[in-house]
Amino acid sequence: MAPVLLVKDLQVSYTTGKQVLKGISFDVGAEEFVAIIGPSGAGKSTLIRCVNRLVEPSGGQVLFEGQDLLKLDEGAMRRQRRNIGMIFQEFNLIDRLSVMDNVLTGRLGYMGNLASLFRLYGKGDIAKAVALLDRVGLIDHLDKRADALSGGQRQRVGIARALIQEPKLLLVDEPTSALDPKISREVMGMIRGIAREFKVPVLCNIHDVDLALEFCDRVIGLQDGIKKFDGPPGSVDKHALADIYAMEVL
């Protein structure tokens, strides 16, 4: 079976000339949960954001279901983003909106301009939002403002918002960095469980190696914009970690 995502020789350079990603290649198969680990500044977040072109690569290919996303114009890329859900490090919620309305913003890409402007959601979308909020344990909070929630609850809203897009790929950018260890494990377990339930592949940038090894199917290790490791969690031994984190000052 062809991979859902195939990244070939991906490169990103700043205008200063500094290279952030130096020819990264990998794939993500159907229903696979892939973690990206590495020291700060390795290029993990940049790599995730290149997939949906929140960061524009300077070279290479990003093939999503066989289509090179880097060749799409703005309109075509906007349509493709509907198929690529994203869970953000800082939650990326609209504080003044309710939990319910934040989840429903995940459907805006499917609506016409007028319906989108006035947030005229259909009954089906509303029912789906309620079901997802129940699934992530927030059914009692759907009318609360987003800024009244705890960090773990806010991340759960972000998960529900990504899922209401009915994505074919889920990008997860440091989902636990703002959370304490107990909540971090709960959130990762929820993402893992929901990914299996909805049969959606995941590419997850995560700083916590233990969580990556516990919840992922495969680990990609980056260091200074170079792929240093690609294999199953069971093969991430102290030698592999020493190689990935060789430049980290402990």
- 214 CB burial (10 A radius; 0-12, 13-18, 19+): middle
Q: What is the pLDDT of residue 120?
A: 67
pLDDT tens for each residue of 123-165: 889 999 999 999 999 999 989 999 999 989 999 999 999 999 9
Q: What is residue 114's predicted lDDT score, i.e. its pLDDT?
A: 53
Structure confidence at residue 246 as a pLDDT band (50, 70, 90): confident
| CA 207 to each of CA 103, 124, 161: distance values in angstroms, whole numbers, following the listed order | 26, 37, 23
pLDDT digit string, tens, across residues 55-103: 999 999 999 999 999 999 998 998 999 899 999 887 788 899 999 999 9
Domain parsing of the chain, residue ranges: 31-45+79-244
User: By three-state DSSP, how is residue 124 classified?
Assistant: helix
Please report, as a single letter, which amino acid is at residue 141. H
pLDDT category at 250 given cuts 50, 70, 90 is very low
Fold of 31-45+79-244: Rossmann fold (3.40.50)
CB-based contact 31:23 (threshold 8 Å): no
Q: Which residues contact 30 (CB under 8 A, 6 or more apart)?
A: 1, 3, 4, 199, 201
C-alpha distances (whole Å) from 147 to each of 9, 101, 107 are: 40, 13, 21
202 in Cβ contact with 33 (< 8 Å): yes
- Average pLDDT over every residue of 162-183: 92
Q: For 187-241, what is each residue's pLDDT tens digit?
A: 999 999 999 999 999 999 999 999 999 999 999 999 999 999 999 999 999 999 9
